[in-house]
Amino acid sequence: MVFVRVHAMKGHLSAVQKEELAAKLIQAVADVEDLVNNETHKETSWVQFYEFEPENWYAPANRRC
């Protein structure tokens, strides 16, 4: 079983990008854990996206003065 939570700014990922990212994240975890990425594994794997408004983010390295 794989559960991955992704935090992103709202509107920065399209539905297609989320689907692609989710599939790649599940595959990456399966590879690291030596899991077989078969139908059973896919049925018990989840990626959850949390999207936040840009004004609710602060990253000092990206701050513009």
The pLDDT tens digits for 20-50 are 999 999 888 888 877 776 677 777 888 999 9
Whether residue 14 contacts residue 8, with contact meaning beta carbons closer than 8 Å, is answered with: no
pTM comes to: 0.74
Q: Which of 26, 28, 31, 29 is nearest to 42 (CA)?
A: 26
Whether residue 49 contacts residue 18, with contact meaning beta carbons closer than 8 Å, is answered with: yes
- What would the CATH number be for the domain defined by 2-62? 3.30.429.10
Question: What pLDDT was estimated at residue 62?
Answer: 65
